[in-house]
A and B are shown apart, each in its own frame.
Chain A
Amino acid sequence: MILHELITYEVLRVIWWGLLGVLLIGFALTDGFDMGVGALLPFVGKTDIERRVAINTVGPVWEGNQVWFILGGGAIFAAWPPLYAVSFSGFYLAMFVILAAFIVRPVAFKYRSKRDDPRWRNAWDWALFASGAIPALLFGVAVGNVIQGVPFHFTDDLHTIYEGVWYMKFIGLLDPFSILAGVVSLSMLVMHGGAWLTLKAEGVVQQRARAIGSIAALVAVGSYVLAGLWMAVGVEGYRIVGDYVTNGPSNPLHFEVERTASWLTAYLDRPWIVIAPIMGVLGGGLTFLGLRAGREVSTLLFSKMAILGVISSVGLTMFPFIMPSSSDPQSSLTVWNSSSSHLTLFIMLVVTAIFMPLILMYTAWVYKVLWGKVTEADVSENSHSVY
């Protein structure tokens, strides 16, 4: 096959770096409000029927939303195999916690209202809360660690070796900067969940979601700005040195990398990327105002803008780095050394170009069919068929 030569290896790598971002953002925009609603559940719903309203706002869609997470895993495996191998085994126990949350959550949605026993329902409500809040926090913590670099290196055979004893690989993730990053992601997704509930619920559930969501919006903006300032003064960056090729074989050991004073020098090299943090801060601020004013559709759009800005700012700032190594910078994974082969990237791009628009189309259709508020009356009338 020579068709794949139509697009150079270098360009394909950049496209797939962008698609990695699209997947993460797609996941945060859709499954993000499911997690946010889960984290908000005990606070917006005090009675069983209020909680059922909140759950049923995401009831028909969480399953499709969760596929973004699974597709994210599959796409990283297909397009960035070294990243898949290093990050998932490096964050082993944290990944297990996230998996546990993503396994409990579907079961909790589906099984919660299948029995009338209040203890049964209460237990599942806590499961929904934990499986929303904990991954929302841990995703940010993981990003915080990636920004600072993760301690691993490659052997000559490209086996990955992690530095340190096993429990430090888990507890060691929780350094102050990473916890701050965790606060950013948790508050951002709670804000998003609040914006979703404002659109889909009414009455007391909506009021509480607006109140908590607007606080979360403030926390998100504040912690994001703080993390940015911290990166300016307290977090070292990385850069590739010496001659290197951007269309060569994917082997991290072929590159030289050194530490720099700060990641934020990227904003001097390519000033246009400042649009991302501006969208993040502006989106968060507008979401706060929208929630206060009780605007429904536009608030959700502002919240989406905030998420888009925050996530893309991380990727754009670190480019071309994807997962730097703190203990052996030369092992760092970058766009130029950790992709699949030219042919695989091309085939996956063709498949994505065919199916992604289809997915977006039928997902939009499903949301359109389900458009409108979920009310207490809806839930009690269809008690058998809804959650």
Chain B
Amino acid sequence: MEFGIVELSRMQFAMTAMYHFLFVPLTLGLSILVAIMETVYVMTNRPIWRQMTKFWGTLFGINFVLGVATGITMEFQFGMNWSYYSHYVGDIFGAPLAIEGLMAFFLEATFVGLFFFGWDKLSKVAHLAVAWLVAIGSNFSALWILIANGWMQNPVGAEFNPMTMRMEMTDFFAVLFNEVAQAKFVHTVSAGYVTASVFVIGVSAWYLLKGRHIELARRSITVGAAFGLASAFSVVLLGDESGYSATHSQKMKLAAIEAMWETHEAPAPFNLIGFPDQEARETHYAIEIPWAMGLIGTRSLTTEIPGINDLVAQAEERIRSGLIAYEALLEVRENRDATDPAVMATFEAHSADLGFAFLLKKYVDNPLDATEAQILAAADDTVPTVWPLFWAFRLMVGLGFGFIGTMLYFFYRASFKGMNFPRPALHLAVWMIPAPWIAAELGWFVAEFGRQPWTVDGVLPTAMSVSALSMTEVALTLAGFILFYTVLFIIEMGLMLKYIRKGPFQDVEETAAWNTRHNDRLAGRRNADAIAMPAE
């Protein structure tokens, strides 16, 4: 593969986006967990819950700030590095980004300061409301970002306008209620909740292993496991929903994830593992589960799922149709309102395939000059590289089921075994901490790499989306981001570890005094349950 401005710009986007998403999932989940802890505090008035709120709140703050800081890059680099993309789809894609700012980001950012600075300035209930507003704001942010991303996967509610040379919105509600976006939103926030639960359980497990902050750690695990269990089910179910919606909106991505080269008689089997071979277009040593793919993908036993080879043949058809649209477009652009209605009708009949003609721009300046061989090559280009998708997807799903198992176990121990956790399980919980991050990054990789060669599926090829920048400029900023982000990452990890080692440091005496009293009261009653014990 030739390495040019497109590849360099993609590297920068992948790097900055994946780095941003190191911080986002924890923000999404921890904001809610902290708000839940504060709710318990306000309801029971027990100081331990305020201490938990402040302790996890401190870690939330360290993480939150980098999520915000690296999010700024995301908001601006579409214009910086992907200016043709910005021009071409800004009419649709820009709206959810702006609404995110208006509806969600302002909310979380305005109140997050008050969360940290307002303990003495607000009543208990007002402060609790602030905590929930931060959590709601963060989660609404994710909604609008995923509506924007969902539109790139499944571009509904828009059509091409030849006068402005861009896509324009025709139906806002179609963009809003895009089934891909809605499934992705719940899948992504649930992944964030799992991440925060695994984090809270892991850090607490470390305290229990060290014999420190036992009261805080046991309660935190209980909250984390209950919240994490529901979220782990949700993340897998909504992942399945995403797969189901992909059967009609993103057939190629689905076939590539599955390494399904030929259309199989319904219901198709699921390749559990295997070795996809892009050249030969077959999967070696595949272990198949009969019927599974058909059931997951179509929820029926009779609907076929098209294989890669058939989809390439369809792409070739659409390129030829797109060329008719392109030829008509040139005439429409020349004559504007005075265009012959017959030409206009031809354009409208084929404009849905215009993006496929643009695939040829990689080979020739004017798609109409393309040779037969180039048309076939462009059709082949619609297949993303299969093996990384195949494996990334399987690893992600495996981790997802692992989270369900872990959460079930901790929920069981917390609810029915008096919050006693065996040491091997605690060790496992500490080692699990990185797993949800790995799963989340793999998930984004599957979603975005699986959409290639498109930035907007079937509408705009990635190769056409970039800005006319020099390699030097992008290389400079990429080097700058790598250097800069590495330093920030080291500082962030250093502070995170410092504050985890330090443990809760606010309201220590008050909480300890309450704890002693509480334990004495418990000791005075036979078989008293620590959680069910009424407040003082």
Contact = CB atoms under 8 A, between A and B. Distances in A.
Interface of A: 1, 59-64, 66-67, 69-71, 73-75, 77-79, 81-82, 84-89, 92-93, 95-96, 99-100, 102-107, 109-111, 114-115, 156-162, 165-166, 169, 248-251, 254, 340-341, 343-344, 347-348, 351-352, 355-356, 359, 362-363, 366, 369-370, 382, 384-386
A99 B16 CA distance: 12
B117 A60 contact: yes
A166 B103 contact: no
B283 interface: no
B168 interface: yes
B102 A359 contact: yes
B94 A103 contact: no
B66 interface: yes
A374 to B, nearest CB: 10
Contact of A348 (B98, B106, B505): B98
Interface stretch (B85-93, B270-278, B451-459, B524-532): B85-93
Nearest to A158: B165
B506 A384 contact: yes
B100 A96 contact: no
Q: Size class of B's contact patch?
A: 35 or more
29 contacts: A60-B114, A63-B112, A66-B68, A74-B100, A77-B93, A77-B97, A84-B86, A85-B87, A89-B467, A89-B469, A92-B469, A92-B473, A93-B473, A93-B476, A96-B476, A96-B480, A115-B495, A157-B165, A166-B469, A249-B164, A340-B90, A341-B161, A343-B169, A344-B92, A355-B106, A356-B102, A359-B102, A362-B107, A382-B120
B70 interface: yes
A352 B76 CA distance: 20
A77 B94 contact: yes
Contact of A77 (B90, B103, B336): B90
A106 B113 contact: no
Nearest to B89: A81
A251 B164 contact: yes
A347 B68 contact: no
Given A71-B105, A384-B505, 8 more contacts: A63-B110, A85-B79, A89-B79, A93-B476, A156-B333, A340-B90, A341-B169, A351-B102
Contacts, number: 247
Contacts of B94: 74, 77-79, 81, 84, 340, 344
Given A103-B484, A343-B172, A348-B98, A67 B110 contact: yes
A67 B273 CA distance: 46
A129 B256 CA distance: 50
A385 B119 contact: yes
Contacts of B484: 100, 103
Given A106-B69, A114-B495, A63 B113 contact: yes
B519 interface: no
Given A60-B114, A66-B109, A93-B473, A84 B103 contact: no
A201 B388 CA distance: 57
A85 B116 CA distance: 37
Contacts of A60: 113-114, 116-118
A67 B164 contact: no
Contacts of B66: 107
Given A67-B106, A77-B94, A82-B87, A92 B80 contact: yes
B87 A344 contact: no
Contacts of A355: 102-103, 106
B503 interface: no
Contacts of B480: 96, 100
B347 interface: no
A69 B477 CA distance: 21
B495 A111 contact: yes
A85 B161 CA distance: 18
B101 A70 contact: yes
Contacts of B499: 114
B109 to A, nearest CB: 4
Interface in B162-195: 163-166, 168-172
Interface string B326-337: 000000010010
A81 B86 contact: yes
| 5 smallest beta-carbon distances between A and B, as pairs | A81-B90, A88-B79, A78-B94, A77-B94, A60-B113
A333 to B, nearest CB: 11
A385 B116 contact: yes
Nearest to B81: A89
A384 B504 CA distance: 11
A161 B109 CA distance: 37
B491 A111 contact: yes
Contact of A96 (B80, B116, B336, B488): B80
Contacts of A369: 114, 118, 121-122
A123 to B, nearest CB: 10
A107 B491 contact: yes
Given A79-B94, A84-B90, A106 B68 contact: yes
A369 B118 CA distance: 8
B410 interface: no
A87 to B, nearest CB: 7
A87 B79 contact: yes
Nearest to B480: A96
A250 B91 CA distance: 11
Interface string B9-47: 000000000000000000000000000000000000000
B98 A64 contact: no
Q: Among A81, A158, A356, find the residue whose CB has the most chain B CB atoms closer than 10 A.
A: A81
Nearest to A381: B120
Nearest to A101: B72
A362 B133 CA distance: 11
Contacts of A363: 106, 110
Contact of A67 (B99, B105, B165): B105
Nearest to A166: B470
Contacts of A165: 470
B98 A107 contact: no
Contacts of A93: 473, 476-477
Nearest to B163: A249
Given A89-B81, A114-B495, A366 B121 contact: no
Contacts of A359: 102, 106, 110
Interface string B232-276: 000000000000000000000000000000000000000000000
B84 A85 contact: yes
B80 A70 contact: no
Contact of B86 (A77, A169, A249): A77
A88 B61 contact: no
A329 B168 CA distance: 26
B345 interface: no
B467 A250 contact: no
A70 B99 CA distance: 11
A248 B163 CA distance: 9
Contact of B91 (A99, A158, A341): A341
A340 B91 contact: yes
Nearest to A93: B473
B111 interface: yes
A95 B80 contact: yes
B313 interface: no
